[in-house]
Amino acid sequence: MSAAPDPPGGWATGPVTVRAPATSANLGPGFDTLGLALTLYDDVEVAVTGGGLSIEVEGEGAEVADRGERHLIVKVLRRAFELIDGLAGSGRDGLGQPPGLRLRCTNRIPHSRGLGSSSAAIVAGITAARALHPYGKLLDDAGALRLATDIEGHPDNVAPCLAGGLTIAWTTGAGPKLVRLDLDRQVVAFIPDQRLATERARGLLPEAVPHKDAAANAGRAALLIAALTGGLRQDVLLDATEDRLHQDYRAPAMPESAALVARLRVNGVPAVVSGAGPTVLAFATASQVDSIGAEVGNGWHIHPLNVAPHGACVQHDGA
């Protein structure tokens, strides 16, 4: 059997490996707006080949390695290649889709736990496409954010995955935008074994909320930015992470998470549901959590993490 032909000219030679961080969205009151990049990573290697589609998955999501063209990262790569070809315009010869792709994923971000696993996959695919396509630089950071948001549906997780740090994301008539803020601090993620689909968590939200609750969340979100970036006292951060828009409504789908948030907060630990849950995120150090270990209870995987200073990026030799 003869070897598959080399990929056509123009595509980047050799595989591209992208490291994408986990993320935590909402952070309590910042619903669909605030997000953190965290030091827990997926590695995605993509190569253009002479033909066929090969997918290997190690770790989380190994059960979906046989999805072929329906695999999320493959779908993202296809869309990104098509978009970049369109940006190249009629003055250049478009490459279309590559004749073949090889995808290898090493996944460490838990799936369906509120830590942005789908955003990591989306951003990794877009970042890899920009590196592989000869006109990839035509898809700038703003374009990458638009595409990632269009695929994911909301910018709050893809923004920190792209930019790192603490991000504030919003949408205008021209599309999504973000502001990135440096944040050097520890957090602790309490990750349960059970999963919760984001669609189910969103389905529990009401169509309208009381005006006083919306006003309270606006004030708390502003206070949260000041508390995180200004080094304000822990009691201020505890007040700043209070939420009235989504966590209580979602509690029936994750009663253990709601109960853990309540226990931690009673003990003065600023704790929130991470994204759509069921992971709980605490703005505390591992030693602070150890001091109230009895309040945590069983059934939780405790992961001390830092805020990741960088978003998804191509890994080079020695990185």
Catalogue the E-assigned strands of 62-135: 100-107
Angle between helices 155-163 and 117-132 (to 10 degrees): 50
Residue 292 carries which DSSP code? T
Tell me whether residue 114 is annotated as binding.
Answer: yes
Q: How many residues does the chain have?
A: 319
291 marked as binding residue? no
Conformational region of residue 14, where left means phi above 0, alpha means psi within -120 to 50, and beta covers everything else: left
115 carries a ligand binding annotation: yes
Integer Rg of the chain from CA = 21
* Residue 297 in marked binding region: no
Residue 274 annotated as binding site? no
Q: 116: annotated binding-site residue?
A: yes
SS3 per residue for 116-171 = CHHHHHHHHHHHHHHHHCCCHHHCCHHHHHHHHHHHHCCHHHHHHHHHCCEEEEEE
Is-contact 26 275, C-beta < 8 A? yes
Residue 303 annotated in ligand binding: no
Do residues 220 and 28 touch, judged by C-beta distance below 8 A? yes
**Is there a binding annotation on residue 101?**
no
Angle CA 71–75–77, to nearest 5: 120
Does the annotation place 214 within a ligand binding site?
no
Is the bond preceding residue 278 a cis peptide, omega within 30 degrees? yes
Q: What residues form the annotated binding site? A: 110-120
Cite the annotated binding site for ATP by residue number.
Answer: 110-120
